[in-house]
Amino acid sequence: MKPYSTACDQNREAILSIIQPIFNTVKTVLEVGSGTGQHAIYFAEHMPHLIWQCSDRLRYHAGINSWLEETTASNIRPPLTLDVAKEWPTLTTEAVFSANTTHIMHHHEVKKFFAGVGRCLTPNGHFLLYGPFNYNRQYTSDSNQQFDHWLHNSDPHSAIRDFEELNQWATQAGLCLQNDYAMPANNRILHWQKTPA
C-alpha cells in the first residue's frame, strides 16, 4: 500500500500557486524530504519544463517509488539518499524545495540542512521552505502551539523553529531572504535566494 498524507493533498494547490511563478525559469529542483512522494508527483506534473529530483532517507524510498510508478510524468527523478546531517550527494541545483521538515528535524540537523542547501544551490538559486514557524519566539496561532506540544511529546528534539534563527543560518549559507508568504492553516513559505559569488 502506498503511503498517503492528507496534508499533502490539502496544501498542494496553495503551495503551487507560490512556487510555480518562482520556478518558471528554473530547470532543476531538489526536494529535500520527499516523504510520501505526493508533492513530487503533483508539482512535477504541473511544471513539466523542469526536472524534479526527489530525496529522503533510505527508509522512505519504497513509498516514494510506489507513487512514482503510477505517474506518466517523465520529469521526476527517483529519490536520492539524503540525510541532511550527513554527507550530501554531490550535486548542484537551481532550486531547493522542502515542506514540513524543519520541525521534525533536530536542532543541529536544521543548521546542517541550511549549510547543505547553500552548498548545492547555483548562484541566484532559490530555496523555498514550507511549514509552521515562530516569530520572535512566539506562536502565530493556538493550533501551532498545540502542534508544537505534540511534537515535543513525540520527540523532545523536534519543535516549530524560530524564523529569526532560520534566517541567520540562511545568511551564513549565503542566502538572502526574498519573501515570506502567508499560507493557509497558519503555515508560511519562506523564500531565500543565493547571492552571486
55: domain CATH number is 3.40.50.150
The answer to whether residue 11 is domain-embedded is yes
Alpha helices in 35-162 (DSSP H): 38-46, 61-68, 107-120, 142-154
pLDDT for residue 1: 77
Task: Taking residues 138-149, report their average pLDDT.
Answer: 97
pLDDT for residue 170: 98
Name the pTM for this structure. Answer: 0.97
Task: Taking residues 29-40, report their average pLDDT.
Answer: 97
Residues 90-142: tens digit of each pLDDT: 999 999 999 999 999 999 999 999 999 999 999 999 999 999 999 999 999 99
Three-state secondary-structure class, residue 12: helix
The answer to whether residue 1 is domain-embedded is no
| pLDDT exceeds 90 at position 196 | no
| pLDDT exceeds 80 at position 197 | no
The answer to whether residue 91 is domain-embedded is yes
- Residue range of the domain that includes 67: 6-194
The answer to whether residue 164 is domain-embedded is yes
The answer to whether residue 17 is domain-embedded is yes
| pLDDT exceeds 80 at position 7 | yes
The answer to whether residue 156 is domain-embedded is yes
* Count: domains in the chain: 1
Q: Where are the beta strands (DSSP E) in the chain?
A: 28-31, 51-56, 76-81, 93-99, 121-131, 175-183, 187-194
The answer to whether residue 78 is domain-embedded is yes
